[in-house]
Amino acid sequence: MTAPRAEVALFPGTFDPFTNGHLDLTARAARLFPRVVAAVARSSTKVPVFSVEERMEMIGEAVATLPTEVRGRVEVRSFSGLVAGCARDIGAHVMIRGLRAVSDFEFEFQMALMNRKLSPELEIVYLMPDVRYTYLSSGMIKEVARLGGDVTGLVPEAVLRRVLAKFGHGGAA
């Protein structure tokens, strides 16, 4: 017996800010699934630099640069609470997670087991970003920008403008 094809894939994250690695994973997921929901977490444990609305706008602007057949499959929304609840709310049976390096595996493994306990019907699909983005993280982008480093090419153009505005430097001169 074959499983029914997943129509909706959830790609949750804080996305503070949305990086080129996130954009790459979004595009990869949209080539695999008819609908991808990039869901911005309203985190209660993290204090984001960008508001939920800013993060959603950045994702929307970044996704708009993807080829038409890919960007048409992506929608952006926010959620609070458990990711398993968000998946249920949107009818997703697949959750997309990125794995950049072995160091991500332990955390992702623990999260997958907890999500399986909370929502046994939710399958986790791990995608690896393009090798150019395997070292990127939102935290690293913020730290480099805070310290005046250039983050050009590490985040989409729309995100770069917002990072520069937020930190007053950190991008192309």
Residues catalogued as catalytic: 22, 46, 100, 138
What does residue 145 show for φ and ψ, rounded to 5 degrees? -65, -40
Measure the CA–CA gap between 29 and 118, rounded to whole angstroms. 23
Beta partners for residue 10, in sequence order: 37, 95
> H or E element: which one contains 118?
helix 102-118
CA angle (129 as vertex; 93, 161 as ends), nearest 5: 105
What does residue 123 show for φ and ψ, rounded to 5 degrees? -90, 140
Q: Give just the sign of the alpha carbon dihedral 78, 66, 96, 142.
A: negative
